[in-house]
Amino acid sequence: MKPGAFIFAAALVLFSCKNEDKETTSTTDTLGNLTDTSLTRIDSPSMNDTMPIPMVNHASATLSATYPDTTLSGEARFDLDSATGQVKMRLNLAIPAKAGKSVAVHIHEHGDCGDKGNMAHGHWNPTNEAHGKWGSSAYHSGDIGNVKLDKSGNGSLTLTTDRWTLGGTADKNILRKALIVHGGADDFKTQPTGNAGSRIGCGIIQ
C-alpha cells in the first residue's frame, strides 16, 4: 500500500472510532434523558389526573417535614379489602412540637411535595363538592380530617372507605397523590381549605 493510501485509511479508522464514541455517548445520554423524562411523567400532575393506573392491593406514604425547623415523621398504609372493594387507611404521626394538639390531614391533588408542599395544589376533590367533615352531607374525597396528638406528639387515625381505589381511574384513585399534614386543625367550614394552616408535612401515596 502506498504511504498516502495508508495515511488515508488510518484517518478513516480514527474518524470512525470517534464517531462510534460519540454515538455511544449520545445513546447513553439519550437513554438517560428518556429514563428521567419517563420518571418525571409518572409523577406529573397531568398523568395523575388523566391516566388510568394499574390497580394494586397495598400502598403507603412516608411523611416527612416540609420545614427544616419542624420535626415530623409518619406513615400511612392503605390496604384493599378484596371482599368489599373498600380501602382501609392506617395513619400514624409523630410531631413533638404539636403535642396535645390536633392537626389536619388531607389528600391533595398532585404527587409533589415541592415548595413546602404547595406543589401538591388543593384538596383532591374529584366529585366537586364543598369542603367539609368526612361523612357529612358534602366533603372532598381528600378531606380526611383531624388527628389528635398525645402528650408526646403521637397520633393515629384509621379510616375505611369506598370513595378511594388503589389505581384505576382519576375519580377514585389515590395513588400518586400527596398526603399533606397541616399545622392546625380543620374547622370543617372554611372553604375550600378548612383553615388548617401551613403544610408542615408531606408524603406521596405510592
Q: Are residues 83 and 182 in the same domain?
A: yes
pLDDT digits (tens, 9 = 90+) for 1-20: 555 554 444 444 444 444 43
Structural domain includes residue 48: no
Average pLDDT over residues 189-204: 96
For residue 75, the domain's CATH number is: 2.60.40.200
pLDDT for 157 beyond 90 = yes
What is the residue range of 26's domain? 3-42
* Strand ranges of the sheet holding 199-204, from the earlier edge strand across to the other edge: 145-148, 102-108, 178-182, 199-204, 58-65, 73-80, 87-94, 154-161
Q: Are residues 166 and 190 in the same domain?
A: yes
pTM of the shown model: 0.75
Q: Are residues 139 and 190 in the same domain?
A: yes
Q: Are residues 154 and 178 in the same domain?
A: yes
Share of the chain above pLDDT 70, in %: 75
pLDDT digits (tens, 9 = 90+) for 15-57: 444 443 333 333 333 333 332 322 223 333 434 455 778 999 9
Structural domain includes residue 191: yes
